[in-house]
Amino acid sequence: MGTGDASRDISDKKWTSELNEYKKARAEGIQPAGTTRRHIEEARKASETLGKAYDADSMPKTKDITKESVAVMKQIGQI
C-alpha cells in the first residue's frame, strides 16, 4: 500500500481506476448511483436497456430497469 492508502479501504490504483471509469460514464451522460465499478457497470447496463443515458437521481434503481419496466416508463412518459 502507498502512504495515501492508509485511510482508504482500497488501493490508490483501484481508487484512481474507478474514478476514471466514473468520469467516462459522466462524460457519456450516465449518472451512476456511486463511483464504484459495480455502480458504473450497472448504470451502463441500464443505459443499454433504456436506450438512453441512465440517471440514478431520477430513475428507478438499476436492478429494476428491465425491458418490461422500460416499456411502462415509455407509456407513462418517464423516458
Instruction: Map grid coordinates 430497469 to a residue.
Output: 65
Buried b (16+ CB within 10 A) or exposed e, 28-41: eebbbbeeeeebbe
Read off the pTM: 0.82
Whole-number pLDDT of residue 78: 86
Task: With H, G, I as helix, E, B as strand and everything else as coil, classify residue 10.
Answer: coil
- Band (79; pLDDT cuts 50, 70, 90): confident
3-state secondary structure 18-72: HHHHHHHHHHCCCECCCCCHHHHHHHHHHHHHHCCCCECCCCCCHHHCCHHHHHH
